[in-house]
């Protein structure tokens, strides 16, 4: 594979194309400045304006959320795993029917595997624009987003209507529900009973790992962060490793499924049969299955990289969900 053939599988941080109207809370005060990025796969955007950088199926989706300080993402849920790691900034993740069942503060490099079946949201509590990178289970990312009822009600008050077809309609642009399309129904009280109020001990204890702890575990070999034998034990249809300078090897290797390279710190040289490139923090690269390649730091200094590869496990509820 030549460098030119590989280039469409590389998304540079500076080339990311945001969508500011991706979700139903795009006009709701406090959430109206967020940017959504769909890097690999169709994602869960409800807007036709969302740009998809790499549409090749991987068995999971890669996305990102960029937000200025004090901007939040409203309470929602997914049917498959939703994993975040903090690329930049300081973030508060919260959960529960009203967002008050628990919370955790994550710093750069920290990772969280949020249980399916609970409402969750997140907020940039740092002083600058921040970015979190996301992994969603399944090629269809669980079929979309399930919103807490109050989020849909608030959005309607600010001109956005979500159709039962999963598409958004903006009254401020003169849009309305097409004939035959009804509004997305609110979850009933009976349905809401299926969304538990998980404690901080459950969510943080089982689903959160701190960056510097993972780095220590990745001293001699890549650390299995998420997987059946990972420090976060789960089988969401993909595995996540952290590779550091000391655990990186320059030997060529392959995977039987497409894999994804996402640098967290430092610059990384990726070499494959036919070419090479250098990745920086925030870049995302999709490596084709069965293509021999190696990944090593290209400069001195701190270096870490999250590596994601699909498994044969079906995407579905997390072990915690």
The Cα angle at residue 143 between residues 140 and 145, in degrees rounded to 5: 120
pLDDT of residue 181: 93
User: Tens digits of per-residue pLDDT, 218-253?
Assistant: 999 999 999 999 999 999 999 999 999 999 999 999
- DSSP class of residue 134 equals E
Whether the predicted pLDDT of 217 surpasses 70? yes
pLDDT, residue 321, reads 63
Model confidence band, residue 142 (pLDDT cutoffs 50, 70, 90): low
13-208: CATH homologous superfamily? Answer: Jelly Rolls (2.60.120.10)
All CATH 2.60.120.10 domain ranges in the chain, comma separated = 13-208, 211-310
* pLDDT score of 27: 87
Q: What is the C-alpha to C-alpha distance for residues 53 and 57, in angstroms, rounded to an integer?
A: 12
Per-residue pLDDT reduced to its tens digit, 10-37: 999 999 999 998 888 988 999 999 999 9
pLDDT of residue 115: 94
Token digits for 130? 């921040």
Least confident range of 10-19, 173-182, 212-221:
173-182
Of 120-124, 170-174, 277-281, the one with minimum mean pLDDT is: 170-174
pLDDT tens, residue by residue, 59-118: 999 999 999 999 999 999 999 999 999 999 999 999 999 999 999 999 999 999 999 999
Reported pTM: 0.94
Domain 211-310 fold: Jelly Rolls (2.60.120)
Q: Name, in order, each residue with C-beta under 8 angstroms of 126's C-beta and a sequence gap of 6 or more.
A: 69, 89, 90, 91
Please report the pLDDT score of residue 44 as a whole number: 79
**Does residue 206 surpass a pLDDT of 90?**
yes
Half-sphere exposure of 281 (CA within 13 A, CB side): 15
């Amino acid at each position: 594979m030549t460098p030119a053939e590989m280039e469409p599988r590389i998304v540079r941080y500076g080339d990311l194309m945001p969508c500011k109207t991706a979700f139903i809370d795009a006009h709701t005060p406090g959430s109206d400045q967020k940017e959504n990025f769909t890097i690999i796969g169709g994602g869960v955007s409800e807007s036709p304006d969302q740009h998809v950088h790499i549409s090749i199926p991987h068995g999971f989706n890669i996305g990102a959320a960029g937000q200025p300080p004090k901007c939040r993402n409203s309470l929602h849920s997914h049917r498959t795993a939703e994993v975040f790691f903090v690329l930049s900034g300081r973030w508060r993740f919260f959960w529960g029917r009203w967002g008050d069942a628990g919370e955790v503060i994550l710093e750069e490099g920290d990772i969280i595997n949020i249980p399916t079946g609970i409402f969750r949201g997140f907020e940039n509590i740092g002083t600058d624009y921040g970015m979190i990178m996301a992994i969603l289970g399944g090629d269809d990312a669980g079929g979309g987003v399930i919103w807490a009822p109050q989020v849909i009600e608030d959005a309607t008050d600010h001109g956005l209507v979500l159709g039962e077809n999963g598409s958004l309609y903006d009254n401020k642009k003169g849009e309305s529900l097409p004939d035959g399309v009804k509004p997305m129904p609110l979850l009933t009280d009976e349905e809401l009973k299926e969304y538990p109020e998980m404690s901080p001990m459950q969510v943080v204890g089982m689903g959160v790992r701190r960056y510097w702890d993972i780095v220590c575990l990745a001293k001699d070999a890549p650390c299995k962060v998420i997987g059946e034998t990972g420090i976060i034990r789960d089988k969401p249809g993909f595995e996540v490793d952290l590779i550091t300078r000391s655990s990186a090897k320059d030997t060529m290797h392959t995977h039987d499924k497409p894999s994804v390279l996402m640098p967290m710190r430092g610059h990384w040289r990726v070499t494959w049969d036919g070419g090479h490139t250098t990745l920086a923090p925030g870049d995302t690269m999709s490596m084709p299955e069965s293509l021999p390649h190696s990944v090593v730091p290209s400069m001195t200094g701190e270096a870490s990289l999250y590596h994601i590869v699909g498994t044969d496990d079906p995407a579905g509820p997390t072990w915690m969900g």
